[in-house]
Structure 1
Amino acid sequence: MNQILSDPDDDTKGFFDPNTQENLTYLQLVERCVKDPVTGLSLLVIVGKGKGEFYFFVDEATKLVLKSTTTTRAGGKYQGTVVSLWDLLYSRYITEEKRRELVQQYKSGSITIDQFLEIILTIIQQTKDVTAEDLLESNIIDETLFNDLSAGKVTVTEVSEMDSVRQYLKGTNSIAGVYLQSTKETLSIYEARRRGLLTPGTSLVLLEAQAATGFVIDPVNNKKLSVEEAVAQCVVGQEWKNKLLSAERAVTGYKDPYTGNTISLFQALKRDLIVKDHGIRLLEAQIATGGIIDPVHSHRVPVQVAYARGYFDEEMNQILSDPDDDTKGFFDPNTQENLTYLQLVERCVKDPVTGLSLLVIVGKGEFYFFVDEATKLVLKSTTTTRAGGKYQGTAVSLWDLLYSRYITEEKRRELVQQYKSGSITIDQFLEIILTIIQQTNSKTTFHGIRKDVTAEDLLESNIIDETLFNDLSAGKVTVTEVNEMDSVRQYLKGTNSIAGVYLQSTKETLSIYEARRRGLLTPGTSLVLLEAQAATGFVIDPVNNKKLSVEEAVAQCVVDQEWKNKLLSAERAVTGYKDPYTGNTISLFQALKKDLIVKDHGIRLLEAQIATGGIIDPVHSHRVPVQVAYARGYFDEEMNQILSDPDDDTKGFFDPNTQENLTYLQLVERCVKDPVTGLSLLVIVGKGEFYFFVDEATKLVLKSTTTTRAGGKYQGTVVSLWDLLYSRYITEEKRRELVQQYKSGSITIDQFLEIILTIIQQTKDVTAEDLLESNIIDETLFNDLSAGKVTVTEVSEMDSVRQYLKGTNSIAGVYLQSTKETLSIYEARRRGLLTPGTSLVLLEAQAATGFVIDPVNNKKLSVEEAVAQCVVGQEWKNKLLSAERAVTGYKDPYTGNTISLFQALKRDLIVKDHGIRLLEAQIATGGIIDPVHSHRVPVQVAYARGYFDEEMNQILSDPDDDTKGFFDPNTQENLTYLQLVERCVNDPITGLSLLPLQS
């Protein structure tokens, strides 16, 4: 059998690669798999046929070469053993992307097998593991933190993210490339030299500094490369390979010719293994980018540790502390000055996308901005504790504030020039900076759970991106707009916790505590529900729709004094626990890991937070995405496993109707929504009453049954039956009825889906009776239609009918006269051709008259679809969904009925100016929309149905500048929508109305 398996042929290769149609052994097929980055499981790749997808795998011939190429120089976990290049290639040191790249380079002949091996060995050497013991021995972490790490009280990720640790593991930015001021181009150092922008000497010392501080950098593609890789990828030329390999030894270590040991850059310098000036230059670059590198342990070390290990001494410190022109080893090509590496780094600009430091190159006659050494010294020595924001409570220099993200490049230049010209004093300089920071924070402050949250907090938590942060800082979007984005609101406000109880027999809403007082809930059930409220933000008074702190809830008798201490303890899941060792504020999970709270109790509160929007960061007072929670030590994989696969021990909540233990999410999903407040209420049924809920088995079936045929807002998307069942198309009564029919076996799951799809379809259909009742067709035409004398298609095509069913053209997009381009409204805004305000009102008008329009592809889309297809950005989704209600209808908060735009306006459910603008757009594009019947109606019918009145008719018939809600960007005039439509041009192919934009 061993012989059979050792020498397989096609008869014994029992597995099959569906991509290449080959018979393979199981091992061969496993070796073609990719690893799931989260679970580590092996997954078989399937590539699409005829879609131009590339299928990467290592063929048998290449694999044989890689397996037969061995080395004893790998180090790390392979120290002292013979290991194959194949095993190294598939080790955790090499990323999937790097693996593909190297195999392709080898197969194409770009690199030899020896070069392949050298590249791999360099990568492994540069990414050596650093143990907690290494960090402790290097005084990078202290004994307490080491013990906490060993005990699992803090994670490796948390420690790695600490500034004090990251500096030594990753370093700070070296000079990555060149920024050409005249063309705004980013170039690699070598490319700048090739174009004659840098001399060979300047280029070489900059590249040597890169190699000696970690990696050669490709700033165009944002890649960090070993010297071997950089040469292979032509980021540097072959002629400098040996010099750069020599500089790279400042990272990987030099070999002591007497002992064979690995020694550091400084030690090599002392042994005259490298030229003094060259060594000093590399050493200074290391210090300027985070610290001297210990090549044995593969990380940087604090100065005192460098002294102790012989990597530095007082004489060298003196040389570097007081540099003269002989030891200033770097050169500013713009000013012809010799500088230290740190001075040159400080003259660089940051690439706004990659964050890399780029050396500015200016042409003749161009202005070169930099801060001279004398000014820099003053700025660095001027400090304050009044900066606030991320600097709250710390002393920070004016230099650091000037180069913070609060200050734009333009403002920075302006202030430095004013100071140098004597227009402002250093004190005035500081006050101006502090005012900018204060104004930025006040302009961009959000209401968190318990305290204000800055835009910077949201950026650092990956809740908003850099672009949105900059738009917010520049006033291009408002705090209100950002607040309304689903992706932001979830983390600032969370989703509904269980707010109270709904007593089915009396239709009463009660607080949790009142339900307990009446004996409807046990004390235990009541307490865990109230603790979940406190731990997810606030104790809730569902009767008066109030959110209260525990202190307020006790004072207002929403809960009793007896539970105050327990609820104050639960509330710390929001406000933070105090670490008894450090005095720092720590999160719920961290308190759990430090045994400051009982495990079951902590898990219950953590699960409630996750079920209501995300884990709460008590320091910043908002919820955070899961990955950020991992990074900050607020969650870990072990806890994720516990909560992902709950059993009765971890199901910490209780359904009093069924006596089941449930997760918080399961219990929330059994709640009903209060029609007025929108709060989630736990239903309590009396004896003999029917308790409606969807059991877990049924829920699983409903969630796993999907369709792409739902239409409406779900057009073109995969949606689950569960989501359709709980959509606005299905009433509470119909929902109950269908679930009961399915559970009783009266209908199958396929029939269930078809019924739901039919309801959704019928909700949108317009009947002939509707048209007759709306005076769109007369009795004669109705009878002819009923008798089959005319068809639905014929009637639909009549101008008098089509106007009310389809409307006339809204402004679909923009026509750029200079280039003859058609653009969507959002694309025009993105290119700066329309202001955000003008763009938004035009998109709202689209949504309020039927659909958001993609004029390039001639598509009409719901808001949901438009966002999904990137026709509009996520940041405007909520505003456009609100405008779309002018078509689908608003909900009357008093009756629950669907009402029209005008009725919502009369009930003050929408802002007057906004409502008038949308109403005017509807009238201009065919008539007022009846959201109940889903079509437009003649004016007299609108009057009769309460969708319009004489007062509004007067306002719209005689508009002034206050009611002209639209704007012509070409003439800067305020116009009505009809006036603006009449200035549009028609697309000759699609017939869509496009707003022409002149240069």
Structure 2
Amino acid sequence: MEVQKARGEVEIRQLKERIQEQEVLLAEREAQVEKLEVELETQKKIVEDLNFLKAKLEHDVSQYHTKLDIVIKDKAALEQELKHTKTLMEQSEATSALTQKKLEEVLKKENDAQISGLQRTTNAQEVHKLLDEGVLQKLEMGLLTIEEVRASLVHRTDKPATVAGLYVESSKKKTPFLEAAEKGFLAKTYALEFLEAQAATGSLVDLATGETVSVAEALEKGIVDLSMKEKLMEAEKAVSGYICKGRKLSVFQAMEERIIDRFKGKKILEVQVSSGGLFNPETGMRVPTFIALNDGLLNKETLQSLHDPVSNPKGFHSPDTGQRAYYDEILKTCLYDINGSVFLVPFGERHLTNTSPMSPHRMSVVNSSCGSEMSVYEAFKGKHINKNTYLFLSQQESNWQENSLVDPSGNSRHFITDARSGRQLCLESALSQRFLEMSEFESYRSGLLSIHEIADIIFSRRVVVEDVNSPIAGLWDITRKKRLSVLQGLQQGVTDRVTALRLLESQACTGGICDPSTGEKHTLSDALKRGLLDEALKQQLQQFEEAFNGITHPQTGKVLSIFQAVQENFLPKDVGFRCAEFQLLTGGLINPDTKDRVSLEEVIQSNLVGKTTATLLKNEQFQAQSLTCPKTKRRVTFKEALERSVFDCHTGLRLLEATKVHAFGAKTAFHYLCAFK
């Protein structure tokens, strides 16, 4: 038994050992399997990465081939374009040469190689440089005559736009500067300033005939005094040239060589630029600024400093006021006399050339032979002046520019705006109202009609009616002769914020925020988008717009009037009183349902307002001086401001005259708070 037991134990031990060995082998196999699985996953990932790289490379190769095809095509296109450009350049050079040849032939044929107004014979290449495209096209077609050359060069070679004398408003006669000095209209030194300016632009003007003469001829005819000879002969060198080392130098070149004083030189340059262009003494021709810059007759720094009062002080005196001014400023105030085709400074108390909001056009053209006075457009339509003169004078008076915007409906609207006066016209509105015909609009788009003509056509057909119920829609800057919105006046220091706020409150509670450039009225949201308000003002005006539209009772849904809203505590008392005052002074309280105006008596009869409040509204003693007059800087009531305002002939709305603000008003809500106590 023991032997069997021992054998059994041995067998059991052997079996256990075998089991342990098998377990070890199994563990090793499992470890190998796990290792193989990891390696398999790694290999799979490597394969996936390789497949991805393969796909990416295939994509890159495809893109490369595509780009290569594009480059090849672009190269071919560029070569073709380069070839075409070379052909065009050759054609252009040939055309230019042919044009100059034809011009020489025309000049030779007409036996007039010296164009009127030039100081010496000018070759075809120099004339070609200044010809406009229309004349060049005619020249290429063989349709050019010497008259067309003269017409194209008239603003370069005709007599410059210099101030020739005075227009005495009382007698409606023109007066030479020396005669005006003898009569005591201006100092003789002031007269000499203008005569030197004439000499520095090529010639003096004989007012009796309208002809231009040299200084020598003027002395011979007795147009100027012998005592002025030296200064006028010196001024004439600005055209004939300053001789230096055998060369003729222009004014700027003489300044650079220190032959003439820089202040004197800049004064002459300002005169020449203002009157039509700088003179090139080598050719005797006036050239525009951009050509002068290219030809070394001027540099940008000097050009930019011509109206800088520090580096170039104002060198002339206004005959009417005696104040110092630039030549350009005086020229813009001049009248154009068709009797002699000269520019005259108006002298007198009528201030003919002053721009006013009450007059659509200033008087800019006169006929001193009969005393007639007219606007530029009237003179043009009456065929007293040609189109070139009309455009030149119009540019002196206004600066029209076109722009467009998208209205709330998503439609594009085109506007022309005069940057000087602040007027604005909508072309679509003009077409719909028949102030402008479609044929005229198409002519404008094709370039046959200028922007000045379009503006004048519209103005000549519009009938503007004064809006007696208008609040003060904006400001008239009497210094710059320009319309300003209330916000612009505030931003430019023409009025203070409290006054601006009161004016805008009156607009918001009587129909909307006014745009004085167009006469349109806008909601607060639209006014903000159009730059008529800033965000802070918009927030302050919310209650005034609600007062105009009517405040709805939250329980009953009834639309409340101003007084009802105050009684129900939906509108502050001071706001309600100001709204009532603004509305009453501009035509009556506004019914929020119908927008009709209602008198105070009718409101009292309907028991919508108490007798105490009505008495306060009627009595001017209780009207607060809540505004500062933008012109006098004195405190005024809203009623006084209305009485001082003027109706704008452009919109029919009221404007308040203004100058730079020197004092600021203060808030005065005391009367408004007391009104409902």
TM-score bucket of the superposed structures, by smaller chain:
0.3 to 0.5
TM-score, normalised relative to structure 1: 0.29
Larger radius of gyration: 2
Relative contact order higher in (CA < 8 Å, ≥ 6 apart): 2
